[in-house]
């Protein structure tokens, strides 16, 4: 739920700051430019897309509710008089149909359920699990090859996009976009996460954060929570004295699931592109963006520039133009490092909270282990003394 809250917070910041809005453009921003879709329609579409009819179809089609105008036949007498089409009336009907665009919500729900089932199969599902692990490694290698050519590609993408838009104030808008993302990350890292830590542990959170400084600094440099994981283990276990049983279970899971910074970046990017194209969004579409950003961040890989790919999925969930993502790739190099730092901080604070909530269970496990060791030692001593007694 933390990812969802942060994604919605990012959406709120974009609505307030409006980094992509041209102030010279007039008009009422509250108007719905998406065909009159209501909040209920957008939310019901989100729920409907969670269970796709066809998994293959979900990779390129999604369900969407639209309000269409249907012409009502005019009176025959009116037609004979030669009165124009201005006298023809129209009826508005709500129509649900499949439109072009990836159904990312349905794919994520399927992958979660499918992954749980593979885990329950045990040895029978190990072959399939190994296949997906190998596929994941091959995908990472492919991404590394693409990233090698990224600087040159970014140069031409940004230059071409600025010329296409014809708005030389786009650089100012990109600066506001960066400020919006950094402001959201700063608030989350310095206020929200420390506040949650203090609420559960009643101790100084900044002392704990200072103990995580080496891992956070490494996350900024390498821009990968997976590469930072070994140092995160050391900072949590050796410096902050977190139980090894908690860190070894939670941190590897958090690297994939807990993507606070990535969720915020994706939500802000989607709203920025909508404002850049002067597209007004309804409340339902804003909520859809927040939920989609959080859902897509759950499965994001802990590798550099992973947010750029998942941002495309968020845009398709509300039919926003994906061509403008090229503008953001140049800023991805900087913002992704800050997002990774927040992701690592969220993981480390999460293990501290879980240790606090699980203190009684951990103590009972230690007592049971000590009792078992004492019993084994007494049994061994009794066995050694038995020949002497005989």
More confident residue, 31 or 372: 372
CATH assignment at residue 242: 1.10.3860.10
Res 350 pLDDT > 50? yes
User: pLDDT value at position 321?
Assistant: 78
The stretch 312-338 carries a mean pLDDT of: 76
CA torsion 299-226-266-296 (nearest 10°) is 0
Q: Are 259 and 298 in contact (CB under 8 A)?
A: yes
- pLDDT tens-digit map of 168-221: 677 788 888 888 889 989 999 999 999 999 999 989 999 999 999 999 998 888
Q: Is residue 183 part of a domain?
A: yes
Q: Is residue 276 part of a domain?
A: yes
Among the ranges 211-215, 334-338, 358-362, which has the highest mean pLDDT value?
211-215
More confident residue, 39 or 130: 130
Split at pLDDT 50, 70, 90, the class of 116 is confident
User: pLDDT value at position 33?
Assistant: 41
- pLDDT tens-digit map of 124-138: 888 888 898 898 888
**β-sheet bridge partners, residue 68:** 93
Split at pLDDT 50, 70, 90, the class of 39 is low
Q: Is residue 159 part of a domain?
A: yes
Domain residues for the domain of 290 are 2-35+147-359
Domain count, the chain: 1
User: pLDDT value at position 236?
Assistant: 92
Burial class for 146, CB neighbours closer than 10 Å (0-12, 13-18, 19+): exposed
User: pLDDT value at position 44?
Assistant: 79
The stretch 245-271 carries a mean pLDDT of: 83
Q: Is residue 343 part of a domain?
A: yes
Q: Is residue 248 part of a domain?
A: yes
More confident residue, 317 or 174: 174
User: pLDDT value at position 79?
Assistant: 46
Q: Is residue 108 part of a domain?
A: no
Res 31 pLDDT > 50? no
User: pLDDT value at position 307?
Assistant: 60
The verdict on pTM exceeding 0.75 is no
Q: What is the mean pLDDT of the chain?
A: 76
Split at pLDDT 50, 70, 90, the class of 34 is very low
CA 381 to CA 251: how far, in whole Å?
41
Res 123 pLDDT > 70? yes
- pLDDT tens-digit map of 57-100: 888 888 877 766 666 655 544 444 444 455 556 566 767 778 77
Q: Is residue 81 part of a domain?
A: no
Q: Are 304 and 336 in contact (CB under 8 A)?
A: yes
User: pLDDT value at position 315?
Assistant: 77
- pLDDT tens-digit map of 124-182: 888 888 898 898 888 878 877 876 776 677 667 666 666 665 556 777 888 888 888 89
Q: Is residue 301 part of a domain?
A: yes
Task: Tell me the three state secondary structure of residue 96.
Answer: strand
Task: Tell me the three state secondary structure of residue 104.
Answer: helix
Among positive and negative, which fits the CA dihedral 346, 352, 356, 359?
positive
């Amino acid at each position: 739920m933390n990812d969802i809250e942060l994604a919605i917070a990012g959406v709120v910041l974009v609505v307030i700051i409006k980094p992509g809005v041209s102030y010279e453009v007039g008009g009422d921003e509250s108007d719905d430019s998406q065909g009159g879709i209501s909040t209920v329609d957008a939310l019901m579409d989100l729920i409907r897309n969670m269970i796709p009819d066809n998994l293959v179809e979900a990779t390129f089609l999604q369900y969407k509710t639209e309000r269409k105008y249907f012409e009502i036949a005019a009176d025959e007498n009116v037609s004979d008089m030669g009165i124009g089409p201005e006298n023809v009336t129209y009826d508005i009907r709500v129509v649900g149909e499949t439109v072009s665009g990836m159904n990312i919500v349905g794919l994520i729900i399927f992958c979660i359920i499918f992954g749980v089932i593979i885990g329950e199969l045990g040895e029978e599902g190990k072959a399939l699990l190994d296949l997906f692990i190998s596929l994941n490694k091959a995908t990472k290698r492919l991404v590394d090859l693409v990233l090698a050519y990224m600087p040159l590609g970014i140069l031409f993408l940004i230059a071409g996009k600025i010329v296409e838009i014809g708005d030389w104030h786009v650089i100012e808008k990109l600066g506001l976009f960066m400020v919006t993302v950094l402001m959201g990350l700063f608030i989350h890292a310095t206020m929200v996460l420390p506040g949650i830590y203090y609420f559960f542990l009643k101790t100084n959170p900044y002392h704990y954060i200072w103990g995580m400084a080496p891992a956070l600094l490494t996350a900024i440099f390498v821009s990968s929570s997976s590469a930072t994981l070994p140092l995160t283990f050391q900072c949590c276990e050796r410096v902050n004295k977190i139980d090894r049983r908690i860190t070894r279970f939670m941190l590897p899971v958090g690297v994939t699931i807990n993507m606070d910074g990535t969720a915020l970046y994706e939500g802000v990017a989607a709203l920025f592109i909508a404002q850049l194209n002067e597209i007004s969004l309804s409340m339902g579409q804003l909520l859809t963006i927040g939920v989609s950003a959080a859902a897509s961040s759950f499965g994001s890989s802990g590798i550099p520039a992973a947010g750029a790919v998942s941002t495309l999925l968020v845009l398709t969930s509300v039919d926003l133009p994906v061509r403008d993502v090229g503008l953001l790739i140049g800023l991805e190099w900087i913002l992704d490092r800050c997002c990774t730092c927040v992701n690592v901080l969220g993981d480390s604070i999460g293990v501290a909270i879980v240790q606090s909530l699980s203190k009684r269970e951990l103590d009972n496990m230690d007592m049971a282990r000590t009792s078992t060791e004492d019993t084994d030692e007494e049994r061994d001593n009794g066995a050694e003394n038995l020949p002497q007694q005989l």
